[in-house]
Amino acid sequence: LVMTTLKKEIEQAYDKLIRAIEESKDKEKASEHLAYNIGWGNCLIKWYEAGKKGEMPEMPGEGFSKWDYEGIQKHFHKKYRFDGGKKQMAAFKEVVDRIKQITDDEQEHLKELGVWEWCTLSSGKQWPLEKWIRVNTVAPYKRCATELRHRD
């Protein structure tokens, strides 16, 4: 398999985030960033898996039917903060590995519009799977790494 640009971007952003977390003096904040990214990663995986079965996933999911970002973030902080250490890092790696697997499995369909019904925004605008993945991995990983570096 040829490694997709998207998969490379995910790996690079993930590596930077992990380094920022490991180097951060603010372990509480680092743990919150991990929880946030585990939560959104799990949502993305659930959306994809429902779509694979031809089902329409609950969006955003995790018991939320509206895009209440603040409420969702608080929920993720409660649910995915475990220990703020090895267990949480392992859970994050598991999520990222699964998402990278999806990019491998869907290489032919990453950029196509209209493949996945759930990839349609409430406005009716369609996004390719690649954009949904990038918005829930690369973008927040970079943002979180930058935030952690600027806090210390």
Per the model's pLDDT, the better-predicted residue between 55 and 151 turns out to be: 55
Could you tell me the pTM of the whole model?
0.93
Q: Render pLDDT for 14-64 as a digit per residue (tens, 0 to 9).
A: 999 999 999 999 999 999 999 999 999 999 999 999 999 999 999 999 999
According to DSSP, the residues that pair with 126 across neighbouring strands are 120
